Amino acid sequence: MRTKGHPATRIDVLFEAEKIAARNLELAVEIAAGDTENLLVVPVLKGSFVFAADLLRALHHAGLAPEVDFFSLSSYGAGTKSSGDVKILRDVETDVADLNVLLIDDILESGRTLAFAKDLLVARKAKSVKTCVLLDKPDKRVVDLQADYVGFECPDLFVVGYGIDMAHSFRELPFVGVVHTDDD
């Protein structure tokens, strides 16, 4: 499709909105089957905000009533390559000691972002730290981390939409797609 406001780009849909919505319901059922006592859900902003909002409501449908807090972490800056250096832009305020924490992120790529967040919460004595990602790009992993819950395995392409950005654009798209500029 051609996107209003982004006339020089074409976006090919990779995961459509309906498919994501159906998968969210399944993920919530998988999550609800684990230890969900004193559950704190922690979306890693910004990229996960749309996924996390939908997954949170799916968790309600699966019978859960988690608390929610937020990390804002950055490893990409405005570029399209990970810098490898994770920065905390906003820390979790909740005392995570003895809580079951579920970290939610948009994409697991090198694994550096989630490994950093997980290690930090483990050091703060969380009872458990599990990870849920919408997309897993296993080809680019540099640290040894598998997500506990994965929406979809994603090919090694730069994707946008459903909260995921390219230089701060395209978060508003209701699906996940691949960007092509007019010269490719």
Binding site for Mg ion (CB under 5 A): 47
CB of 37 to ligand IMP, least distance (A): 28
CB of 35 to ligand IMP, least distance (A): 25
CA 139 to chain centre: 17
- Rounded Cα distance between 53 and 163, Å, is 10
Residues that bind ligand IMP (CB under 6 A): 47, 75-76, 82, 105-113, 158-159, 164
Please give the backbone phi and psi of residue 135, each rounded to the nearest 5 degrees, phi first.
Answer: -125, 135
54 binds, among Mg ion, ligand IMP, none (CB under 5 to 8 A by kind): none
CB of 35 to Mg ion, least distance (A): 26
- Residue 118: its H or E element: helix 112-123
111 binds, among Mg ion, ligand IMP, none (CB under 5 to 8 A by kind): ligand IMP
Residue nearer to ligand IMP on the CB measure, 62 or 150: 150
104 binds, among Mg ion, ligand IMP, none (CB under 5 to 8 A by kind): none
164 binds, among ligand IMP, Mg ion, none (CB under 5 to 8 A by kind): ligand IMP
Give which of 170, 156, 136 is closest to 81, Cα–Cα. Answer: 156
108 binds, among Mg ion, ligand IMP, none (CB under 5 to 8 A by kind): ligand IMP
Check if the beta carbon of residue 12 is closer than 8 Å to that of residue 158.
no
- Residue 116: its H or E element: helix 112-123
Residue nearer to Mg ion on the CB measure, 47 or 161: 47
CB of 94 to Mg ion, least distance (A): 20
Q: Number of H helices and number of E strands within the chain?
A: 3, 11
- Rounded Cα distance between 134 and 52, Å, is 9
